[in-house]
């Protein structure tokens, strides 16, 4: 399309307009929603960039802007973006290239910010190849292994019978056991379901006494702010009407992410977590989801959770490392200090949890 007219619009989309555009993309995710950004970081800290071709939306990116002083330096943080996979369309390779150029131009060259991008792409995937090519002018972050997001990624496009046959034998047996325990599962995306989950999670926190960066109340506020099409899916497992386990996941575009899980005091022997995961997978398939991210693993720090998730027989995979770009020495220096502090706190929290013998996978910030 040599005669096409490309346009870049910055900070023109309202939260409602942004949410509507987000539903156009197969690579949409919870971290790029207006609700997540505004609740977690504040609406005034957000910047939204939209790439259009002939007035049609082709790509988008929501960034957090961090300025420690009124002076012209700071950081722009893009989490799990940008988005460029339009539904039911073949990717135009020019789109991610133009998105990378627009992000660099607006935030690095014009605003003089240190730009950090945490990509929504996994090593070895076609999307990772596109990302690395489009952002070739950016610098790859030389993170240590502990800083890279690692997860099990399930391809849930095969028939349910095939997915069930691939489950680890012990996991499948425990699923059968849960199905024989007369458990029931209710699900929804409303306030009542999330309130019930929060109560289960609070019981688990009191029982295990672990430290975590996960804020269940914050996710509750995000749920309230999300439009219907993007709301979190909440599943509650009951035993004779008593909640025994809960699960919270996000399903957008073609993928889903497991965000939160908990078992109540009354549900320790119910095996409800197995039934919840299988019920969710069945629901995701019915709604056209093709891949399921099991939400992060830490084999050494949290072997119990790693063992449970491994039983679903997903692929053990890592997120590609972040990308940086900056034309400001001051912004680069400030950003590096901030990132160093963040990683130190992340390590300290992990050490604290190991000292309490409670090991939680690190939440993505």
Q: Which two tokens stand for residue 357?
A: 């013998």
Residue 364 lies in a domain: no
For residue 135, tell me if it sits in a domain: yes
In a domain, 293, yes or no: yes
The mean pLDDT value for 275-295 works out to 97
* Residue 331 reports pLDDT greater than 70: no
Q: Is the pLDDT of residue 99 over 70?
A: yes
Same domain, 135 and 159: no
Q: How confident is the model at residue 215 (pLDDT cuts 50, 70, 90)?
A: confident
Do both 271 and 124 map to the same domain?
A: no
Does 113 lie in the same domain as 201?
no
- Calculate the alpha carbon distances from 142 to 27, 82, 104, 145, 348 in Å: 26, 21, 20, 9, 20
Domain count, the chain: 2
pLDDT digits (tens, 9 = 90+) for 101-159: 999 999 999 999 999 999 999 999 999 999 999 999 999 886 544 568 999 999 999 99
Residues 159 and 262 in one domain: yes
* Dist. CA 90–CA 148, nearest whole Å: 29
Question: What one-character-per-residue DSSP string does 120-174 give?
Answer: S-BTTSHHHHHHHHHTTTSEEP---GGGS-EEEEEE--S-HHHHHHHS-HHHHHH
Mean pLDDT score, 342-364: 41
- Tell whether 133 and 221 lie within a shared domain: no
Given this model, what pLDDT does residue 55 score?
96
Task: For residue 213, give its domain range.
Answer: 151-316
Find out whether 276 and 197 touch, Cβ atoms under 8 Å.
no
Q: Identify the CATH number of the domain in which residue 110 sits.
A: 3.40.630.30
Q: Looking at the structure, do residues 343 and 295 belong to the same domain, yes or no?
A: no
Instruction: Please tell me whether residues 201 and 269 are part of one structural domain.
Output: yes
| Same domain (yes/no): 196, 113 | no
Instruction: Please check whether residue 201 lies inside any domain of the structure.
Output: yes
1 domain-assigned: no
What is the H or E stretch that residue 188 is in? strand 183-188
361 falls within a domain: no
Cβ neighbours of residue 55 under 8 Å, at least 6 residues apart?
5, 7
Same domain, 116 and 181: no
Mean pLDDT across the stretch 62-85? 90
Q: How far is CA 125 from CA 94, 112, 129, 269, in A?
A: 19, 32, 7, 39
Give the Cα separation of 45 and 67 in Å (integer). Answer: 9
Report the phi/psi class of residue 125: left, alpha or beta, with left for phi > 0 and alpha for psi in -120 to 50. Answer: beta
């Amino acid at each position: 399309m040599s005669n096409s007219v490309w346009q870049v619009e910055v900070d023109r989309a309202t939260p409602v307009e942004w949410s509507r555009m987000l539903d156009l993309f197969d690579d949409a995710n919870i971290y790029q929603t207006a609700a997540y950004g505004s609740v977690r970081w504040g609406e005034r800290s957000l910047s939204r960039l939209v790439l259009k071709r002939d007035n049609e939306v082709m790509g988008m990116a929501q960034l957090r802007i961090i300025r420690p002083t009124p002076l012209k330096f700071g950081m722009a943080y893009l989490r799990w973006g940008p988005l460029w996979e339009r539904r039911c369309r073949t990717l135009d390779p020019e789109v991610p290239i133009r998105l990378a150029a627009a992000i660099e131009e607006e935030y690095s060259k014009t605003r003089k910010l240190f730009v950090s991008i945490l990509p929504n792409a996994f090593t070895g995937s076609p999307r990772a190849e596109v990302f690395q090519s489009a952002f070739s002018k950016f610098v790859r972050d030389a993170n240590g292994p502990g800083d890279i997001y690692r997860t099990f990624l399930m391809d849930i496009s095969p028939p349910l019978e095939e997915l069930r046959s691939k489950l680890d034998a012990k996991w499948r047996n425990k699923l059968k056991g849960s199905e024989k325990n007369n458990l029931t599962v209710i699900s929804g995306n409303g306030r009542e379901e999330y309130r019930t989950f929060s109560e289960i999670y609070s019981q688990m926190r009191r029982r295990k006494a672990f430290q975590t960066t996960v804020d269940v109340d914050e996710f509750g506020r995000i749920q309230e702010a999300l439009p219907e099409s993007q709301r979190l899916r909440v599943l509650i497992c009951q035993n004779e009407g008593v909640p025994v386990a809960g699960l919270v996941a996000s399903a957008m575009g073609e993928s889903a992410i497991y965000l939160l899980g908990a078992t109540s005091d009354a549900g320790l022997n119910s095996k409800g977590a197995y039934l919840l995961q299988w019920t969710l997978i069945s629901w995701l398939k019915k709604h056209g989801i093709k891949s399921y991210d099991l939400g992060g693993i830490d084999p050494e720090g949290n072997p119990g959770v790693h063992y449970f998730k491994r039983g679903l027989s997903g692929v053990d995979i890592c997120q590609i490392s972040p990308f940086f770009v900056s034309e400001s020495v001051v912004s680069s220096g400030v950003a590096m200090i901030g990132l160093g502090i963040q990683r130190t706190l992340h390590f300290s929290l992990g050490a604290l949890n190991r000292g309490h013998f409670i090991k939680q996978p690190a939440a993505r910030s």
